[in-house]
Amino acid sequence: MTSDARVLNWRFVVPSSQERLLLLSVDDESVPDAVVPARTATELGLAIREGPFTGIVVGDLAAWQAIHAEGNRSSELLPLLVMSLADGGWLYAGFPNRWAPGALLRRRHFTSRALERGLRAAGFSEIRTYFALPSQRCPAYLVSADRRAELDYFLNRLFFPYVGSSSPRTARSKQRLLDWGRWAALRVPHRMRVALSPGMAIVATRSA
């Protein structure tokens, strides 16, 4: 298990049943009895074929899509994960937001709306969305994005503009940028906040 427990915060938002779990890790994290493939297309394919699973966690969907594409250039990973999920099972997927600042530099990006449409078409009856803060790779906070009130509370009561930097000047500049982002996020429409969040996460439960 990785020393950074934040990458395991998905455990607080998924259903409690984890009888047979596939974990596509962000770093090298693991949980007892989970199937955790190495970061190659071959090992990923072998792990998927071990299904069906009662729960699937993909901490960074874009990163694992890139790994999958190394051996399957024209294939999308998410439909394969859905097919390896048992009826009544659940899926957690963290992903970089398409419209977030800096997204154009990424090879692959997603939107929560598009993913939700695809999952509902695949038979998922319950879908919840979360802001993954500060990013999907480091979900220190998973704040519900289904209503405005939760993020407002987080920004007003829990937000702290911490930055790590060896340069005091750089740290102050980053803190000012975070403070400005907080000020703006409290005032813009909620749909814009969802669109511009750097990272998001979806928890979806498949109909039994």
Scored b (16 or more CB within 10 A) or e, 138-161 reads bbebbbbbeeeeebeebbeeebee
Residue 150 has pLDDT above 90, yes or no: yes
Amino acid code (one letter) for 203: V
- State how far the Cα of 26 lies from the Cα of 8, in Å rounded to an integer: 9
Q: How far apart are CA 194 and CA 184, in angstroms?
A: 13
Q: What is the pTM of this model?
A: 0.86
Q: How far is CA 24 from the centre of its chain?
A: 11
Distance (Å) of CA 11 to CA 41, 101, 135, 142: 26, 28, 16, 11
Assign 153 to helix, strand or coil.
helix
Burial of 12 (0-12, 13-18, 19+ CB in 10 A): exposed
Position 1 scores a pLDDT of 44
Tens of pLDDT, residues 43-72: 999 999 998 999 999 999 999 999 998 877
The answer to whether 129 and 200 have CB atoms below 8 angstroms apart is: yes
Predicted confidence (pLDDT) at residue 105 exceeds the cutoff of 70: no
Confidence of residue 179 (pLDDT cuts 50, 70, 90): confident
What is each CA distance from 104 to 2, 112, 138, 174, 184, in whole angstroms? 29, 17, 20, 21, 21
Burial tier of 74 (Cβ tally within 10 Å: 0-12, 13-18, 19+): exposed
Residue 82 CA, chain-centre distance (Å), reads: 16
Question: For residues 110 and 123, which has the higher predicted lDDT (pLDDT)?
Answer: 123
Mean predicted lDDT score pLDDT of the chain:
85
CATH architecture group of domain 5-147+196-206: 3-Layer(aba) Sandwich (3.40)
* pLDDT: which is higher, 17 or 30: 30
